[in-house]
Amino acid sequence: MNTPAAIGFFDSGVGGLSVLRHALDKVCAIPLVYVADSGYAPYGDRSTDAIIARSRHITRFLIEQGAGAVVVACNTATAAAIDVLRNEFPVPIVGMEPALKPAAAATGSGHVAVLATQGTFGSARYAKLRSNHDKQVHVHEQVCPHWVEVVEQGDLNNPRVLDVINASLAPLTSTAVDTYVLGCTHFPFLEASIRRVVGEQITIIEPGTAVVEQLRRRLNLQHCENQRSPLRAFTSGETDRLNRQFETLIGVAIEADRLPD
Ligand code: DGL
């Protein structure tokens, strides 16, 4: 396939930065365009129809910006909308799903926990994924209230963060779970705090690098590591806030623009 003029990424907010950060110098300097749909975050509690409408609007915008491939850097939006996007748009669309397959390969105890949004757990896509693995491993599912919110706020050293994580994970720490799947792209930013709760011996799987590898395969990109991509960013929320979030979460300076309605 031809090398695209740009690659688009989107998420309900800044979660997708946990994927984008792995692409910055791994895609042959192809320009990257990131959309944070912060004016509509979180997606986790929204209806499937609402998430499809936002995903369609953003994908159309990214293609107008030159994107010849789009990464849905959000498990919830992938679960709700990826089939629709692939049907409607003539570009490769790469999505995310909780990394149950590598978790099933990694677990020693046979107990795996998936941390994700209600939207992801409630989807037909996730049900199918789970049914491919639940004969092999015991899958514990945990919705994590307020985790997306604390990442969006960006104050990751606030003591409240640990309380929020503890409240969700405490029930799991007394089980045989030895492998945690971060099934929401916001959660990798909480990994240090998650580790403080679950301990050092536990395996934590986040799919950011695997998704970028999949993107590279899909676009047939080879031998172009260490070439930095130019980056633009848009938000349906406040641009100043997105600028600060880029700096805090992935150490990148940008000047974001408003996403048109
Ligand atoms: N980051 C998103 C995900 O991967 C969703 C967060 C949300 O908006 O609820 O599922």
* Cβ atoms within 10 Å of 72's Cβ, excluding its own: 29
- Which of 23, 76, 84 minimizes the C-alpha distance to 185? 76
Q: Do 100-206 and 6-96+209-258 fall under one CATH topology?
A: yes
Q: Does 78 contact ligand 1 (Cβ within 6 A)?
A: no
> Catalytic site residue 144?
no
| Cis geometry, peptide bond prior to residue 230 (ω within 30 degrees of 0) | no
Q: Does 38 contact ligand 1 (Cβ within 6 A)?
A: no
CATH class, 100-206 region? alpha beta
Are 246 and 252 spatial neighbours (Cβ–Cβ below 8 Å)?
Answer: yes
What percentage of the chain exceeds 70 in pLDDT?
A: 100
pLDDT band at 132 (very low <50, low <70, confident <90, very high): very high
Q: Does 44 contact ligand 1 (Cβ within 6 A)?
A: yes
- What local confidence, expressed as pLDDT, does residue 224 receive? 78
Q: Which helix (H) or strand (E) holds 231?
A: strand 231-235
Atom of ligand 1 nearest to the CA of 11: 1
Structure tokens at 124: 């037909």
Give the mean pLDDT of 209-223.
93
What mean pLDDT, rounded, does the chain reach? 96
Does residue 138 surpass a pLDDT of 90? yes
Does residue 31 surpass a pLDDT of 70? yes
Atom of ligand 1 nearest to the CA of 116: 10
Catalytic residue among 28, 144, 184, 224: 184
Q: Where are the domains of the chain?
A: 6-96+209-258, 100-206
Q: Does 120 contact ligand 1 (Cβ within 6 A)?
A: yes
The secondary structure of 172-228, three-state, reads HHCCCCCEEEECCCCHHHHHHHHHHHHCCCCEEECCHHHHHHHHHHHCCCCCCCCCC
Structure tokens at 65: 């910006």
Q: Residue 132, exposed/middle/buried by CB under 10 A (0-12, 13-18, 19+)?
A: exposed
Does residue 146 surpass a pLDDT of 80? yes
Atom of ligand 1 nearest to the CA of 148: 6
Distance 149 CA to ligand 1 centre (A): 10
Distance 223 CA to ligand 1 centre (A): 32
Q: Does 12 contact ligand 1 (Cβ within 6 A)?
A: yes
Distance 14 CA to ligand 1 centre (A): 9
Fold of 6-96+209-258: Rossmann fold (3.40.50)
Distance 116 CA to ligand 1 centre (A): 8
Task: For ligand 1, pick from 185, 190, 206 the residue to mutate: most ligand atoms within 8 Å of CB.
Answer: 185
Chain segment 102-122, per-residue pLDDT in tens: 999 999 999 999 999 999 999
Does residue 93 surpass a pLDDT of 90? yes
In this prediction the pTM is 0.96
Q: Does 75 contact ligand 1 (Cβ within 6 A)?
A: yes
The sign one gets for the Cα dihedral 55, 144, 23, 203 is negative
**Angle at 212 (CA atoms; ends 180, 230), nearest 5 degrees:** 130
Distance 222 CA to ligand 1 centre (A): 30
Residues 6+ apart with CB under 8 A from 28: 3, 221, 224, 227
> Catalytic site residue 184?
yes
